[in-house]
Structure 1
Amino acid sequence: MNIQSIVKVGIFCFAFGNLPAQNPWPKPTETTKPWTRWWWMGNAVDEKGLDKQLTTLNKAGFGGVEIVPIYGAKGFENQYIDYLSPEWMKMLQFTTAKAKSLNMGVDMSVGTGWPIGGPQVDEQKAATKMIVQTYTISSGEELSEKIVLKDEKQKNLKTIKLDIVTAYNEKNRAIVLTDKITNDGSLNWKPDSGKWTVYAVFTGKTLQKVKRAAPGGEGFTLDHFSPDATKDYLKTFDKAFGNSNYGIRSFFNDSYEVYNADWTPDFKNEFKKRRGYDLSPYIRYLGSNEESEIAGRVKSDYRETLSELILNNFTKDFTDWAHSKNSKNTNQAHGSPGNLLDLYAAVDIPESETFGSSIFEIPGLRRDSADIQKSDIPDFNMLKFASSAANVTGKQLISNETFTWLTEHFKTSWSQAKPEVEQIFLSGINHVFYHGTTYTPADVPFPGWLFYASVNFVPENSMWPHLTGLNSYVARTQSVLQSGKSDNELLMYWPIYDQWANPKGKDVTFKVHNVEKWLQPAPMYENLTKLSKMGYSLDMISDKMIGGSKSESQKIQTAKGGSSYQVLIIPELTYLPETTLNNILELAQNGASVIFQNEPKDIPGNFEVEKRRAKLKSLWAQIPFQNQGENIKIVSFGKGKIILSSDVEKGLEYLKIQREKLTETGLKFVRRQFDGGKYYFIVNHDSKEINQFIPLNYTGNQTVIMDPETGDFGVAETQNNSVRIQLKSGESLILKNSETTDSSIPKWKYTEKAGSPVNLNQNWQLTFKEGGPELPKSRNLKKLEPWTNFSEDPATQSFSGTGVYTATLNLKNKKADDYLLKFDKLYESAKIIVNGQEAGIVWSIPFQINIGKYLEKGKNTIQIEVCNLMANRIRYMDQNKIQWRNYHEINFVNIDYKAFDASNWKVQPSGLDGQIQLFPLYYSK
């Protein structure tokens, strides 16, 4: 079966562009290839080093870089360059010019480290928080204590001000006293009865500074809620860039990690303008956890205001600014106290991130509990916030910060990376940025400069020679996933007001790292998970997006250029704005199909509650539901249909919405539509092999199978709207289903049977090609085994690099259609050379490759160049106290954020082990 063939070294571009005219692969671009986050440590870069590293990245198959300056290495201070200084801009200009000559792109962060901020952020524009102090006063008394800020850390700040003062008695009666405070903080008010608690709200500062800042980038974190702060911050870039964008494709903003920022100097006025009432009489509820209705309503309004402020005063301004530079912008919305869908949608390229290691049922896939994050498992539905926003609003690219802390340092194989990146693709994301690559000067010895939370996609990595395998696979897959547009049929409303109405806490931040608190318990999440497993394709939609949608031809057409959908699902919820319900009913009136899991119980917020509640109930009463059976009510509503059922599946069946039944086999998929057809990207993360016809909702008149690992393709066998596929666990393929047919495309080669294998259990020669700290001795092997088994040679225990296993195979006859070379255990990847010809790289599970066209009858020489992990060499260096980590700020930590020390690690097995077998393959005729 040709699916198992592995990418040929050195033909990265050939597999895309130089095949005959019938080649079905989309034309490659710089964005179809993976990019990498490129850390400039201390900005200690020079033209020679930049040239060398960009050239090296290009040869490995990268399409671009994302520059993020961070802290520097000790001892190189005299080489540091201040961020945005004329010298730094000169280095940037050299970078973009060199990248352009290599057909690569360059993005850059609008700041150093994260979150954004820096020396241009003065105290006034710095991240802001509310500080609440309380006082008690009884009838007839004067408050002896002055209302002044007590926080010692804040006392010397010039921008501190008293925003709101409100008193509450035992019956919760409120009196706003803000205008009763004198300049020195005295309260000019006496209560006439009872005991009162006075709440004083000050505008304070978080005092948070940029984490991991580079030279010239140190300073306060930005106040994302202030339009003046955003505009002033970006003026620094205007000054540095002038009228040019210096060749930057997209300006990047990292995830929102601004801690305790829950206020802005003009918040009180913004709140009144946006929510319709004065917050002052209700201020006590923001600092309490009382579970009253009024507390939940006020907090909902407070949180919605924060959301609108970050959307309008930061995100949209950031987008407008990037466009003024004739560039795009990229933003990671997660972590912010805002509606993630709207925030992602307000930029050119929404970007999510994965953090940690997923669980897959692929036999042989290593997931050592000692080398992974204990709590962080990437959440598939969390990834869909970015892709949903893009699909609904018609954005072509959705990116991802990929492989952050995938495993412990120096222990990540490319085979571990493959299913992780496939999970990202399945969520609808189509452009990955590896995390990441660190610039290293040429004179810095192994392992070079490294970032503390990344998989090391650096030339010093002992597995670097085989990275083209992974990169070619990603590039081919992305070329398809960036073509056409998303083809999801269902929309799932995100009931964010149920999150915002929680009376506990103050601001609500939607983080990647706490989805178990805010996302996974939600009924929406249960629906997303269940329906996806059943074979439905979904995007999420916000209130704002519903308001911007319309009904066309019985479908829901989202924003201009966005996708169209067959059904809008309103999951079980408590709060629904009457305006949103009205928009939903308008969609139904004009032809849309809508499923409600329950009747909305109430409106959110604290403005004109009874009036708005009555409007909600009045709108709902307009729906004349008819019982259709147990747990389902339906109505034809105008040109559309509305269904009420807690069983969404039953509602979808009634509407005759087809699901993709291929998921019943354990396969996963994502679907794209193009003019004249549809693509299916199909992955087998199940433990069993698939060899059967699978049903598809759309097959067109011709189905072409495309192998993203090899670039091979051929016309598939089809019958009764089903396509025959052969996929082992861990494999993937792409189906291109077209209305038109192309007779020049050959048939796909299905493996009809495999003959008895030849066991390559003869003598092998083991030599060492490159690596360190020193090359182990060559040896002859009576059987295959890892070089780390030979502990009598100390170099085998410390070596990271390339070992070469060589043997002679006598093939008595060559009658099979092809031959499959299959590895039992491979640590970690291998280049296969048969009779002096490079056959390809084996880098992913299942570890096997087709080599028939390179074999000859009679004597054959097989060389297997194996690359192992960096781990053993790092272990050796730590055991021998060889200094290699020497950075400012955070020096270097392990996956549990403790001081890194590899000296107690076990030696990682390296090389080949077990059987290597050669299977004769026979294809269907």
Structure 2
Amino acid sequence: MKKSLALSLLLTAALAQPGFAQAPKWPEITQQAKPWTRWWWQGSAVNEQDLTRLLTQYQQAGLGGVEITTIYGQQGAEPQFINFLSPRWVDMLEHTLKESGRLGLGVDMAQASGWPFGGPWVSSADACKYATYQTYAMQGGEQLQQAVTFVQKPIVRTVGQPIDLKQLKEPVASNPDLQLHAFDQVRFEKPLPLQALMAYSEKGEMLDLTSKVDAAGKLNWTAPPGRWKLYALFEGWHGKQVERAGPGGEGDVVDHFSKTATQHYLQHFDEAFKGRSLKGLRAFFNDSYEVDDAQGEANWTPLMFSEFQKRRGYDLRQHLPALFGQASADENQRVLTDYRETISELLLENYTQTWGAWAKTHGALIRNQAHGSPANILDLYAATDIPETEGEDLLRIKFASSAAHVTGKKLASSETATWENDHFLSSLGDVKKALDRMLLGGINHTFYHGTNYSPQSAPWPGWLFYAAVHFNPNNTFWPDFGQLNRYVAHCQSFLQAGKPANDVLVYLPIYDAYQKPGKVLLQHFDGIEHGFKGMTVGTTGEELLKRGYGFDFISDKQLLQVTAAGKTLQTGGGATYQTILVPDARTLPLPTLAQLLKLASSGATIVFQNGLPTDVPGWGNLAARRAAFKKQLAQLKFTAGAKGSKKAVLGKGAVLVGANVDQLLAQAGVKRETMVDSGLQFERRRSAKGLTYFVANWSPKPVHAWVPLQTAAKSVALYNPMTEQLGMAAVRTSAKGQPEVYVQLAPGESCLLETSTAAVIAPAYAYQKPAGPAQPLTGRWDVKFGVGGPELPAPTQVESLSSWTTWQGDAVKKFAGTATYTLAFARPQGAADGWLLDLGRVAETARVHLNGQPLATLIGPTYQVFIPKAQLQATNTLTVAVSNGMANRIADMDRRHESYKNAYNINMSSKLAENRGPNGLFTAEKWTPRESGLLGPVTLTPTTTGQQVQ
């Protein structure tokens, strides 16, 4: 006791001395550090009792909050449907906010029933629009005999039951059975309003004839001498309907480019919330743009001509041939670029910023999925309080996190695990990999996609819908779900602290993308594949990831806020970087080029891959801008460098040009993290102590190695967020003078490294080292089936482990739930510090107890837990509760045609073609039973612990 007290006093005194950092400890797990979930209210058929019951279950499972999204309803629940934003609906929202506050849960709310923004209150004037055109050829002295009119072709597309357009009336939302039909797009056959009629002569003359067209489309004009071509531009109704809408939310999608339309849309929420309390509502949410996943595209707004003139400095009507690709190639590109830039600005200002300002009037933030938008999505994300991404591609993920990093936002969120596999096939181990992917992409606030509200009265599996991973209490993995949530919370508690620690700002060459012609007017930007496909920025981004460079994308608008302090670059959000990389941009706006060279003059190193830009984009004031552009470039006087590169000293800094990015970044003083060469991936944050690394082993082999870190560090704290083991890592200095930390990671495992420039006196991390061969655990396992169904198989005993679906009887083949395996074994012989219990293969999760005491909850992909020697008795009882997936029970239901797919709208789609029935929808009836249970082999390996590493 005296020795322990003395040691404690010594440690306290040491920590109080200058130069010593505090001992490692887990950060507090806050509401925002926990994962949240998208909470689907199907048909808004909710009630107070089930809302409270479910929120309690979510809180007990370790979720931090919910995002309410109303979507299509369940067949048979029609009497319980509640219209979106009706007084009763707002009652349910207020109840949810009150109960969530009591339970410590956060709440966000999707600001549409489904997506994109739209609903029955969106008028035809405020609905999304498109532009179409007709041309007419005329000779001098002729009058146009054709009427200048355009009749919109009818379209009706439904996800649900088809219907003849003749049976519909305008507006679409006024028709009956909207849930039954689930309209995706509707255009009525009717004449479209003329926006402009322009005449262009072969000599370059232009005439605006719009005012000379009467109400019947008659053009009262005689062509002057020469040949003339007339362009008539018409405004059409795109007809896009809100996808997945619930009752009361069906209707036209709003015109995102119109500030008036956005304001009118939001006023409807003001009216619904009048006199109500939104206390506890953190944010309003938009689930992606997705206006154009229909026939045609929304590419017009009524004020386009005036907005274009104001922003681009010339009259678009004078360049309609170029807009539609009928002028010279150069003019076509430049006018198209200006058109796309204008659309981008309108979407940013008239929708995103207008929406964000409105949310502040309700004391709320906005969370926004900007991907898929016809705009510079970096700027849309930057205008968002919490940028949100989705998907599996790291570069796509980094668009949202980059904007958060560059502009100083604490949180970047993600829609996670939407389609990891087909329905009922994703394990918690699969979901962990999806979550790790987001963390590696800089995301620190994950949302599961998603959790269906399901009343207690609904039979198993409860209410389900189109997305493939069902995060609800009916899922057999729910008892072990909390382990995954605690893991995520530990990771995000680190990654929400401090600031980003990336070295390279990668300029996004949006203007090169804007000028690329396509089948439609707009480009829709969604990661690299959509909008930047075939451009160097994609291959360069992949190379930077592969080589271990920390980087963020940056837009022109964000770049103008960057300042240089010596060689260090600081963004408007306070993040610091070492260099800016311009990946093979052929066109740059004059302000962007001037800013890059200004930063170089102030001391920064600017890197141009493959060459300097050669021109400015756009048409307006072209000659003057080109002259100024050339004058800027003339400052650069290059000398030859290594391997074909060249360097120009400019003021206190330099400009580098070359093809080899690795070499150029090295010249700029940027060092890569070489841990990637060992199969590790990382994300970094910067704190007052040093750097925090999230490190994941995605290789198929374990990594037991010294890992170099590109930072100054006297000590490194090591945290395992799954097992909660922590301590001071083994650290050494390499021959190159850089710190190296010893890391042990099984395949699929991850850890957190917290570096410090000060010494830390604290307990060491206990590494594990085999002290002998693995010893199989043999004997008779008692197996008892517990929670699950459709019926509980009889208890049994097995000597050899195998999938329970291979055992005798039909019940085991269709069972989904939990079976408890119990084995008695003698204490192993040997002088090891403990024993590593390896369960071998498990399908799919395992809760392990030894002698009645919990050891661990294991979710994969490896199933190992260390047992200290002191916990072993002469005779021991090992209990392993294994839960399989839902698949076998679902397959049995499909084979018996037992109803569980009861939703309107999509009911249910399948990711994989082999899982589609004759109707094209999901079915599991052809599945053979999937492996289930404890598969082994189960072994014990004598293990020493400490800092004796290889």
Q: Answer yes or no: is the 8 Å Cα contact 2:152–2:191 preserved in 1.
A: no
Aligned 1:794-873 pairs, distance under 5 A: 794-813=810-829, 815-852=831-868, 855-873=871-889
Aligned equivalents of 2:851, 2:936: Cα separation in 1: 23
Q: Answer yes or no: is the 8 Å Cα contact 1:685–1:729 preserved in 2.
A: yes
Task: Decide whether aligned partners of structure 1 residues 56 and 854 sit closer, same or farther in structure 2, where only a CA change above 3 A counts.
Answer: farther
Aligned equivalents of 2:533, 2:875: Cα separation in 1: 59
Aligned equivalents of 2:754, 2:760: Cα separation in 1: 12
Task: Decide whether aligned partners of structure 1 residues 692 and 155 sit closer, same or farther in structure 2, where only a CA change above 3 A counts.
Answer: closer
Amino acid aligned to 1:753:
P
Residue equivalent to 2:107: 106
Residue equivalent to 2:193: 161
Aligned equivalents of 1:410, 1:218: Cα separation in 2: 29
Task: Decide whether aligned partners of structure 1 residues 573 and 859 sit closer, same or farther in structure 2, where only a CA change above 3 A counts.
Answer: same
Amino acid aligned to 2:465:
F
Asked if residue 236 in structure 1 is aligned to residue 268 in structure 2, the reply is: yes
Residue equivalent to 2:397: 383
User: Secondary structure at the residue paired with 1:123?
Assistant: coil
Residue equivalent to 2:9: none
Residue equivalent to 1:46: 47
Aligned counterpart in structure 1 of residue 520 of structure 2, from 500, 506, 526: 506
Aligned equivalents of 2:239, 2:494: Cα separation in 1: 46
Aligned equivalents of 1:328, 1:156: Cα separation in 2: 37
Residue equivalent to 2:935: 913
User: RMSD in angstroms over aligned alpha carbons?
Assistant: 1.9
Task: Decide whether aligned partners of structure 1 residues 328 and 692 sit closer, same or farther in structure 2, where only a CA change above 3 A counts.
Answer: same
Asked if residue 662 in structure 1 is aligned to residue 694 in structure 2, the reply is: no
Q: How far is the alpha carbon of 1:699 from its aligned partner?
A: 4.6
Aligned equivalents of 1:840, 1:764: Cα separation in 2: 19
Asked if residue 252 in structure 1 is aligned to residue 274 in structure 2, the reply is: no
Task: Decide whether aligned partners of structure 1 residues 246 and 760 sit closer, same or farther in structure 2, where only a CA change above 3 A counts.
Answer: same
Aligned equivalents of 1:630, 1:919: Cα separation in 2: 53
Q: Answer yes or no: is the 8 Å Cα contact 1:66–1:109 preserved in 2.
A: yes
Q: How far is the alpha carbon of 1:737 from its aligned partner?
A: 0.8
Q: Answer yes or no: is the 8 Å Cα contact 1:814–1:857 preserved in 2.
A: no
Per mean C-alpha deviation after superposition, the further-off stretch among 472-481 and 912-921 is 912-921
Residue by residue over 1:700-730, the C-alpha shift from the partner in whole angstroms, topping out at 9 and shown as x without a partner, is 2221100110221011111111111111221
Asked if residue 582 in structure 1 is aligned to residue 594 in structure 2, the reply is: yes
User: Secondary structure at the residue paired with 1:124?
Assistant: coil
TM-score scaled to structure 1, two decimals? 0.92
Task: Decide whether aligned partners of structure 1 residues 145 and 383 sit closer, same or farther in structure 2, where only a CA change above 3 A counts.
Answer: same
Residue equivalent to 1:571: 583
Amino acid aligned to 2:817:
G
Task: Decide whether aligned partners of structure 1 residues 812 and 580 sit closer, same or farther in structure 2, where only a CA change above 3 A counts.
Answer: closer
Residue by residue over 1:296-348, the C-alpha shift from the partner in whole angstroms, topping out at 9 and shown as x without a partner, is 11100000000000000000011111111111110110011000100000010
Residue equivalent to 1:179: 211
Q: How far is the alpha carbon of 1:634 from its aligned partner?
A: 1.4
Asked if residue 322 in structure 1 is aligned to residue 323 in structure 2, the reply is: no
Q: Answer yes or no: is the 8 Å Cα contact 2:151–2:191 preserved in 1.
A: no
Task: Decide whether aligned partners of structure 1 residues 211 and 901 sit closer, same or farther in structure 2, where only a CA change above 3 A counts.
Answer: same
Task: Decide whether aligned partners of structure 1 residues 780 and 496 sit closer, same or farther in structure 2, where only a CA change above 3 A counts.
Answer: same
Residue equivalent to 2:238: 206
Q: Answer yes or no: is the 8 Å Cα contact 2:152–2:187 preserved in 1.
A: yes
Aligned equivalents of 2:67, 2:364: Cα separation in 1: 14
Aligned 1:711-722 pairs, distance under 5 A: 711-720=724-733, 721-722=739-740
Aligned equivalents of 2:707, 2:458: Cα separation in 1: 53
Per mean C-alpha deviation after superposition, the further-off stretch among 189-198 and 211-220 is 189-198
Aligned counterpart in structure 1 of residue 373 of structure 2, from 332, 336, 345: 336
Q: Answer yes or no: is the 8 Å Cα contact 2:356–2:384 preserved in 1.
A: yes
Aligned equivalents of 2:192, 2:574: Cα separation in 1: 45
Q: How far is the alpha carbon of 1:851 from its aligned partner?
A: 2.8
Residue equivalent to 1:593: 605
User: Secondary structure at the residue paired with 1:527?
Assistant: helix
User: Secondary structure at the residue paired with 1:686?
Assistant: coil
Tell me which of the two structures has the higher relative contact order, counting C-alpha pairs closer than 8 angstroms and 6 or more residues apart: 1
Aligned 1:460-499 pairs, distance under 5 A: 460-499=474-513
Residue equivalent to 2:782: 765
Aligned equivalents of 1:433, 1:890: Cα separation in 2: 22
Asked if residue 304 in structure 1 is aligned to residue 325 in structure 2, the reply is: no
Aligned equivalents of 1:687, 1:881: Cα separation in 2: 40
User: Secondary structure at the residue paired with 1:143?
Assistant: coil
Q: Answer yes or no: is the 8 Å Cα contact 1:466–1:841 preserved in 2.
A: yes
Residue by residue over 1:12-36, the C-alpha shift from the partner in whole angstroms, topping out at 9 and shown as x without a partner, is xxxxxxxxx9552222110100000
User: Secondary structure at the residue paired with 1:326?
Assistant: coil
Aligned equivalents of 1:751, 1:714: Cα separation in 2: 13
User: Secondary structure at the residue paired with 2:354?
Assistant: helix
Asked if residue 521 in structure 1 is aligned to residue 529 in structure 2, the reply is: no
Residue equivalent to 2:657: 644
Asked if residue 783 in structure 1 is aligned to residue 790 in structure 2, the reply is: no
Q: How far is the alpha carbon of 1:87 from its aligned partner?
A: 1.2
Q: How far is the alpha carbon of 1:854 from its aligned partner?
A: 7.3
Asked if residue 265 in structure 1 is aligned to residue 302 in structure 2, the reply is: yes
Q: Answer yes or no: is the 8 Å Cα contact 2:151–2:192 preserved in 1.
A: no
Q: How far is the alpha carbon of 1:174 from its aligned partner?
A: 4.4
Residue by residue over 1:8-67, the C-alpha shift from the partner in whole angstroms, topping out at 9 and shown as x without a partner, is xxxxxxxxxxxxx95522221101000000000000111110111111011111000000
Aligned equivalents of 1:760, 1:101: Cα separation in 2: 47
Task: Decide whether aligned partners of structure 1 residues 837 and 445 sit closer, same or farther in structure 2, where only a CA change above 3 A counts.
Answer: same
Unaligned runs of 5+ in 2: 1-21, 155-185, 734-738
Aligned equivalents of 1:428, 1:156: Cα separation in 2: 45
Q: Answer yes or no: is the 8 Å Cα contact 2:117–2:253 preserved in 1.
A: yes
Amino acid aligned to 1:648:
V
Q: Answer yes or no: is the 8 Å Cα contact 2:465–2:907 preserved in 1.
A: no
Residue by residue over 1:393-438, the C-alpha shift from the partner in whole angstroms, topping out at 9 and shown as x without a partner, is 0000000000111110001001111122111111111111000100
Per mean C-alpha deviation after superposition, the further-off stretch among 460-469 and 180-189 is 180-189
Unaligned runs of 5+ in 1: 1-20, 355-377
Asked if residue 705 in structure 1 is aligned to residue 714 in structure 2, the reply is: no
Aligned equivalents of 1:291, 1:649: Cα separation in 2: 39
Amino acid aligned to 2:139:
S
Task: Decide whether aligned partners of structure 1 residues 332 and 803 sit closer, same or farther in structure 2, where only a CA change above 3 A counts.
Answer: same
Aligned counterpart in structure 1 of residue 944 of structure 2, from 901, 919, 922: 922
Aligned equivalents of 2:341, 2:593: Cα separation in 1: 18
Aligned equivalents of 2:837, 2:427: Cα separation in 1: 20
Task: Decide whether aligned partners of structure 1 residues 854 and 448 sit closer, same or farther in structure 2, where only a CA change above 3 A counts.
Answer: farther
Aligned equivalents of 1:151, 1:457: Cα separation in 2: 44
Asked if residue 620 in structure 1 is aligned to residue 633 in structure 2, the reply is: yes
Q: How far is the alpha carbon of 1:739 from its aligned partner?
A: 2.8
Aligned equivalents of 1:455, 1:812: Cα separation in 2: 41
Q: Answer yes or no: is the 8 Å Cα contact 2:405–2:575 preserved in 1.
A: yes
User: Secondary structure at the residue paired with 2:529?
Assistant: helix
Q: How far is the alpha carbon of 1:136 from its aligned partner?
A: 3.3
Per mean C-alpha deviation after superposition, the further-off stretch among 706-715 and 545-554 is 545-554
Per mean C-alpha deviation after superposition, the further-off stretch among 279-288 and 575-584 is 279-288
Q: How far is the alpha carbon of 1:233 from its aligned partner?
A: 0.6
Q: Answer yes or no: is the 8 Å Cα contact 2:340–2:523 preserved in 1.
A: no
Aligned 1:216-231 pairs, distance under 5 A: 216-231=248-263
Aligned equivalents of 2:768, 2:456: Cα separation in 1: 48
Structure 1 stretches of 4+ with a deviation exceeding 4 A read 154-160, 169-174
Q: Answer yes or no: is the 8 Å Cα contact 1:289–1:505 preserved in 2.
A: no
What is the aligned residue count? 878
Q: How far is the alpha carbon of 1:753 from its aligned partner?
A: 2.6
Q: Answer yes or no: is the 8 Å Cα contact 2:465–2:906 preserved in 1.
A: no
Residue equivalent to 2:411: 397
Q: How far is the alpha carbon of 1:157 from its aligned partner?
A: 8.8
Aligned equivalents of 2:795, 2:79: Cα separation in 1: 44
Q: Answer yes or no: is the 8 Å Cα contact 1:289–1:503 preserved in 2.
A: no
Task: Decide whether aligned partners of structure 1 residues 253 and 837 sit closer, same or farther in structure 2, where only a CA change above 3 A counts.
Answer: same
Q: How far is the alpha carbon of 1:189 from its aligned partner?
A: 2.0
Q: How far is the alpha carbon of 1:655 from its aligned partner?
A: 2.4
Amino acid aligned to 1:136:
A
User: Secondary structure at the residue paired with 2:83?
Assistant: coil
Per mean C-alpha deviation after superposition, the further-off stretch among 653-662 and 411-420 is 653-662
Q: How far is the alpha carbon of 1:515 from its aligned partner?
A: 4.1
Aligned equivalents of 1:349, 1:256: Cα separation in 2: 16
